[in-house]
Amino acid sequence: MLRPLAASAAASFLLCGGALASSSPWIEVEGGSVRLVTSGRPDAEGRLQGVLDIKLSPGWKTYWRDPGAAGVPPTIDISTSRNVVGASLDFPAPERHHDGTFSWAGYSRPVGLPVTFQLDDPTLPATVGATIFLGICETICVPVKATLALDPDADPDNPDDVALVSSARAGLPAPATPDFGVRVVGMEGKNLVVEAIFPGSADGADLFVAADNGYAFEEPKKSERDGRTYFTIPAVRPDTPPEGDGLHYTLVTAGGAVSGILPYF
């Protein structure tokens, strides 16, 4: 059975790599290795594209943006960077894993998580100093904290880096549309009910909703009624819906995956 990350917190460690190229060196960790890569130059709004590149040894796994009760999501802290004021991670469609009493969302294969860095001034040089934190799991979970440094201007046109960043972004779920996505039906007691709309068969369809701002979710239960597909999701929610757009979701089907936002409820 997979043991949650908290059960092996003593295994946590700090690793550092700091060669100032446009990609950091690989940092070897138990169960795999990690590095950070950037490619190209910032756009007019100061957005610079990169990838958190995660290699996994056979039998090891890592987590989606919301892994559930058994893990911790990947995070990135760029507070030691120069001329970089923000960084956001994107996530390819996850897989559902069941390990004993735990159900969680993540990846059992090497994965590249696209990163968008926001520069304060795109006309000035920038240096990325990023501390990443994630869990890599086999029968236990090993918390990995690694400090990675790079210079996006060192080799922005490196063809391997360009290919890696392009491939990672191409592998993201498409944006949800009215014909492929989910819509909120309502609450049934403490359960959120949504309808999933997508082309093709419902076989293998799954829904992942990322908890945030006082929300918590258990694994959705899929049902079909009158030719429609529904997911019923046991939910804990705050007394008052927060401000903002809503909660990230990814709908996975045999015909592909899409990501969108569920309004706060």
Spatial distance between the Cα atoms of 175 and 61, rounded to a whole number of angstroms: 26
Q: Residue ranges per domain, the chain?
A: 5-172, 175-262
For the segment 206-264, what is each residue's pLDDT rounded down to a tens digit? 999 999 999 999 999 999 999 999 999 999 999 999 999 999 999 999 999 999 999 99
Q: What is the pLDDT of residues 150-188, one digit of tens each?
A: 999 999 999 999 999 999 999 999 999 999 999 999 999
Mean pLDDT of the chain: 91
The confidence score (pLDDT) of residue 113 equals 98
Percent over 90 (pLDDT), the chain = 84
How far from chain centre, in Å, is Cα 115?
10
Question: What's 5-172's CATH class?
Answer: mainly beta
Model pTM?
0.90
CA distances for 85 relative to 46, 95, 130, 225, 244, angstroms = 10, 32, 11, 48, 21
Task: Identify the CATH assignment for 175-262 out of 3.30.70, 3.40.50, 2.60.40, 1.10.287.
Answer: 2.60.40
C-alpha span between 251 and 201 (Å, rounded):
13
> Any residues with CB less than 8 A from the CB of 140 and at least 6 apart, and which?
2, 3, 7, 8, 11
Contact (Cβ atoms closer than 8 angstroms) between residue 144 and residue 15: yes
pLDDT confidence bin for 13, thresholds 50/70/90: very low
- pLDDT grade, residue 19 (50/70/90)? very low
| Residue 70: band (very low, low, confident or very high) from pLDDT cuts 50, 70, 90 | low
